Amino acid sequence: MKVKKAVIPAAGFGTRLLPYTKAQPKEMVCIYNKPSIQHVVEEAVNAGIEDILIIISRNKNSIEDHFDSVPELEKALKDKGKDDYLKEVQEISNLGNMHFIRQKEAKGLGHAIGMAEAFVGDEPFAILLPDDIMYSEVPVIGQLMKAYDEHGKSVLGVQPVEREAIRKYGIAGGKSLSDKDISVEVMVEKPEPEEAPSNLGILGRYVLTPSVFKYIKETKPGKGGEIQLTDAIEQQIHNEGVIAHSFDGIRYDIGNRLGYMIANLDYALRDEEVKGDLLEYIRTLNL
């Protein structure tokens, strides 16, 4: 069955970006020229996803507004002949069918995904975590969808992470099937490096079969007292098998200050209009 739906959980506090996130959703931080969540929605749409559910919480209405149309603004841009801006503004509100629901309490990623059951139904679906921004030729979620088509099993997007970073991620270990795919035998949420089954971090992209909803309901609070998605997917390993796919692309963790700065710099340096002047400015810093 083709993957046509995606879920983007965007209900977290954004603690690592305080005080910015005190009243602003962290998903609306600007990565060079657009809110981070727009980068993620575009990745999904470019991979052929048709319906997107964003799970929000209190104080996150600006995410909904961003994907809505704004007739007054469009009229003003049209009247002033600002066609480039008009096109960009209209494109955002035509990025696929956007759906929104609210997670009322912060009970963890697994719990948030569990709220998508009615939207997803009995189909495989994609998950994109908006703290992870991907820069790649082929959309990363599209690479995972292709792996799902090949294997017919849940697929986790992985890349090797530094030893000291292992405790920040879900880590997957297993048997190699090809140079990109492994059959997952064990997954652990944020292990200590010495207890990790490998150095392959699950970096915010998944294609899951719908049985995960049953396992989420059975999952008890785990790491940090939260219902962990990793623990629910663990149950799929024993019952139907799970694949970890090493994706091609650069991944930015924009949920912290350094990752956010690096993403902004890299995206700006990819814009020919700005690149030259920006490099010249950096040279004046005499680092």
Which residues would be at the binding site for ligand G1P (CB under 6 A)?
109, 129, 131-132, 169-170, 189, 201-204, 229-230
Residue number, 131 or 234, with CB nearest to ligand G1P? 131
- C-alpha neighbours within 13 Å on the C-beta side of residue 270: 11
Do 130 and 17 form a contact (C-beta atoms < 8 A)? no
Compute the least distance from the CB of residue 284 to ligand G1P, in Å: 35
Residue number, 7 or 229, with CB nearest to ligand G1P? 229
Q: Which helix (H) or strand (E) holds 260?
A: helix 257-269
User: How far, in Å, CA of 140 to CA of 149, rounded?
Assistant: 14
Residue number, 131 or 181, with CB nearest to ligand G1P? 131
Compute the least distance from the CB of residue 252 to ligand G1P, in Å: 11
CA–chain centroid gap for 264, Å, is 17
Compute the least distance from the CB of residue 164 to ligand G1P, in Å: 15
Residue 275 DSSP code: H
Calculated CA dihedral for residues 272, 273, 276, 280, nearest 10 degrees: -140
Compute the least distance from the CB of residue 167 to ligand G1P, in Å: 10
Compute the least distance from the CB of residue 65 to ligand G1P, in Å: 24
Residue number, 2 or 217, with CB nearest to ligand G1P? 217
Residue number, 57 or 77, with CB nearest to ligand G1P? 57
HEC assignment per residue over 87-109: HHHHHHCCCCEEEEEECCCCCCH
* Number of residue whose CB is nearest ligand G1P: 170
